[in-house]
């Protein structure tokens, strides 16, 4: 198989796996009654925007694999606008959950703020770099795959027994986020004889992000951010470094 066709197939496979993991993760939670349509509106908006990105990523790879490059470029500008929406909706949803005192019980409010905001920053940095390097295909598609990996935490987290991993739930998710760039590096090693540097940038960005999450989410920066967000709301009564109580059993 010629390299371009083989590469198209590999990145399309990544996109399909990403979509399947997200659908499986959230479907399982719905089937178990842990997620319902009774959630607040901002939770639904967050789901639409971020799952919409997963579908955009899948569609973009389908278009490339089909040779529809004009459609890929056109949809790419839609994706750029979508990234702006993610940059707004992500922090807004985090803030509303912290203010309501409803962060997931396996994270402290300080860690939750640091984790979600910094993961989004990593995504925007990697995806933004991919857009800037859109004419350099090998860099573009690898950076975009790494960006997708940077925000897979909520999906992988729903497939892991995070309540049993307190206080290391965030650290438990971290290795799963390296799965895509590591798979890409192994693919390059096998097919090209060398790992493309974009994968190292992706792995480095994700690793640095989680070092910063651990440092800030368990220290002064995360506490200060959580307190500032929750000031004057019911969430202000929640200790930023305390784990919320376990929800009652159904």
pLDDT digits (tens, 9 = 90+) for 45-54: 999 999 999 9
What is the maximum span of the chain, computed from C-alpha positions, in angstroms? 62
Please check whether residue 105 is in contact with residue 245, taking contact to mean a CB–CB distance below 8 angstroms. Answer: yes
Structure tokens, 161: 């027994």
Q: For residue 54, give the 3-state DSSP assignment.
A: helix
Element (H, E) at 60: helix 41-65
pLDDT at 1: 44
Structure tokens, 45: 């908006």
| Secondary structure letter of residue 77 according to DSSP | H
Place of tokens 């479907």: 27
Mean pLDDT value of segment 170-192: 96
pLDDT digits (tens, 9 = 90+) for 89-131: 999 999 999 999 999 999 999 999 999 999 999 999 999 999 9
Residues recorded for the chain:
250
Mean pLDDT value of segment 144-156: 96
Residue 79 — pLDDT band, cuts 50, 70, 90? very high
Residue 181 — pLDDT band, cuts 50, 70, 90? very high
Chain-centre distance for alpha carbon 189 = 26
């Amino acid at each position: 198989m010629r390299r371009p066709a083989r590469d198209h197939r590999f990145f399309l496979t990544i996109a399909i796996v990403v979509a399947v993991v997200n659908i499986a993760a959230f479907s399982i939670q719905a089937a178990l009654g842990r997620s319902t349509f009774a959630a607040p509106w901002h939770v639904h908006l967050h789901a639409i925007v971020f799952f919409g990105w997963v579908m955009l990523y899948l569609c973009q790879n389908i278009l490339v694999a089909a040779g529809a490059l004009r459609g890929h470029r056109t949809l790419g500008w839609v994706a750029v606008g979508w990234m702006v929406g993610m940059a707004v909706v992500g922090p807004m949803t985090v803030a509303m959950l912290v203010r309501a005192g409803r962060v997931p019980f396996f994270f402290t409010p300080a860690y939750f703020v640091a984790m979600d905001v910094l993961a989004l920053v990593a995504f925007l940095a990697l995806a933004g770099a991919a857009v800037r390097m859109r004419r350099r295909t090998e860099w573009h598609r690898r950076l975009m795959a790494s960006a997708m990996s940077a925000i897979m935490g909520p999906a992988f987290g729903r497939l892991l027994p995070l309540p049993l991993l307190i206080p290391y739930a965030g650290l438990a998710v971290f290795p799963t986020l390296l799965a895509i760039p590591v798979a890409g590096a192994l693919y390059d090693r096998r097919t090209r004889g060398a790992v493309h540097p974009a994968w190292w940038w992706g792995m480095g960005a994700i690793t640095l992000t989680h070092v910063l999450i651990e440092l800030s989410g368990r220290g002064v920066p995360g506490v200060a951010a959580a307190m500032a967000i929750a000031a004057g709301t019911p969430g202000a009564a929640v200790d930023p470094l305390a784990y919320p109580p376990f929800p009652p059993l159904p």
